[in-house]
Amino acid sequence: MPDEAPSGEVTRPRAQTLLAPRLLAWYDRHARRLPWRAPPGTAAQDPYLVWLSEIMLQQTRVEAVQPYFLRFKERWPTVEALAAADIDHVLTEWAGLGYYARARSLYACANEVAERHGGKFPRTQDALLELPGIGPYTSAAIAAIAFDVPATVVDGNVERVVARIFAVETPLPRSKPELRDKAATLTPQKRAGDFAQAMMDLGATICTPTKPKCSLCPWNDACVAKARGIQDELPRRDAKKANPTRRGIAYWLVDPDGAVLLRKRAEKGLLGSMIEVPSSDWIVGATPDVPDGAPAAAEWQRLPGIVRHQFTHFDLELTVLAATVKARNTDGLWTLPDNFGDVALPTVMRKVVAHAMKHTAYTPNDAAQMFEVAEKPKRRKKI
DNA sequence: AAGGCGTGGGT
DNA sequence: TACCCAAGCCT
């Protein structure tokens, strides 16, 4: 473990002091150009954009984030603009990106920054940590990248790189404290933001989970796992249990105008505050065979096939029942499919929409084509 | 403090 | 097909 020198700097073995400069040199030549990133050596990025990107990047790949980031930046260029937005518009813009509590926290955080911090993000890790949706990773990332604070940024990439460099064999998540401490011994006092992004780029492009490209790695001669030939086995992880399957019914109700009944889900929890095709509870076990919990009494027709979706902690199988009504006798958001793009439909509900429109007599139009995309997910089975 | 919380791409 | 797991946070 590193000792604290009187200056407050972390002391470290001499060899380790050489690692950061080598990685930064690699980063200067190989940094990916990303829309939220200032090129190495240029002026710091707008803290608002750093924050926005870091929230979106939580548990989410760069490629998935890019279009969302660009749309948010265009629509809400400042934290004040975002704070003044309608939360439902924010959720609609976030739809498809997942982990929707992030969008709610994003909005809450924008309002705190606008109202309590004068529109300026705090510059210290401790102060950032107080804001909604900002935890240990994100506070360090914003401090380092936006404000050049020498904070140690630890995400999944950094954990993997550090586990390999030091050949940490303790499985995750038990090894997290050790990995964090070892990462701290690598963090330089200068260019900590570039260093953090370099570590993450290294993990994303070179020190990958499988088949790491060690021959291209600026640290390959210092990597203990590589020296031992166990780089593919690290980091180890404790086994995780299998996911259960939950089943339920989604109710596709259409009025004479072709409007479809949608509903807003509970504020928090799974898909919190998002819009859904009304559905039963999703229960482990058999699909209920009675349309219990249907939004209206109607002649429900079971559509062929099933909608499958995987969440982080369970698999879902939805049966879709369809019916028409002569009048809008049920409260909800009666919405024409042409306008589905204006509501916060998460991906699982886009799948339901696609399935229903494919198996009912809905006239194909732009909306139908838009949702066809969501239907095609798996590769086609060979005949 | 262990589990809830999305989605998509890769192997 | 059936996993894995990603720029994590919250309770």
Domains along the sequence of chain A with CATH? 14-233 (1.10.340.30), 245-375 (3.90.79.10)
Rounded Cα–Cα distance for residues A88 and A345 (Å): 11
**What are residue A310's DSSP bridge partners?**
A315
Concerning whether A178 is annotated as a catalytic residue, the answer is no
B9 C1' – A61 CA distance, angstroms?
9
C2 C1' – A6 CA distance, angstroms?
53
Per-residue buried b or exposed e for A308-347, using 16+ beta carbons within 10 Å of the residue's own CB: ebeeeeeebebbbbbbebeeeebebebbebeebeebbbbe
Query: With contact defined as beta carbons under 8 Å apart, do A321 and A340 qualify?
Result: no
Strand B nucleotides where any atom sits below 7 Å of a protein CB: 3-9, 11
Does A98 contact strand B, using a CB cutoff of 7 Å? yes
Rounded Cα–Cα distance for residues A107 and A104 (Å): 5
For residue A368, count other CB atoms closer than 10 A to its CB.
Answer: 16
Does A240 contact strand B, using a CB cutoff of 7 Å? no
Q: Of A54, A93, A267, A375, which one is the catalytic site residue? A: A54
Rounded Cα–Cα distance for residues A21 and A93 (Å): 40
Give chain A's end-to-end CA distance (angstroms, integer). 60
Rounded Cα–Cα distance for residues A271 and A279 (Å): 13
H-type helices in A150-191, by residue range?
Answer: 156-165, 176-186
Does A194 contact strand C, using a CB cutoff of 7 Å? no
Query: Which nucleotide does the CA of A268 lie closest to, via C1'?
Result: B5
Does A346 contact strand B, using a CB cutoff of 7 Å? yes
Contacts 24+ apart (CB under 8 A), A37-42: A37/A197, A40/A194
Query: For residue A290, what are its two tokens?
Result: 């009675």
Query: Which nucleotide does the CA of A60 lie closest to, via C1'?
Result: C6
How does pLDDT run along chain A (383 residues), one tens digit per residue? Answer: 333 333 334 455 555 778 999 999 999 999 999 999 988 777 789 999 999 999 999 999 999 999 999 999 999 999 999 999 999 999 999 999 999 999 999 999 999 999 999 999 999 999 999 999 999 999 999 999 999 999 999 999 999 999 999 999 999 999 999 999 999 999 999 999 999 999 999 999 999 999 999 999 999 999 999 999 999 999 999 888 889 999 999 999 999 999 999 999 999 999 999 999 999 999 988 776 666 679 998 999 999 999 999 999 999 999 999 999 999 989 999 999 999 999 999 999 999 999 999 998 754 444 444 445 444 333 222 22
Query: With contact defined as beta carbons under 8 Å apart, do A143 and A125 qualify?
Result: yes
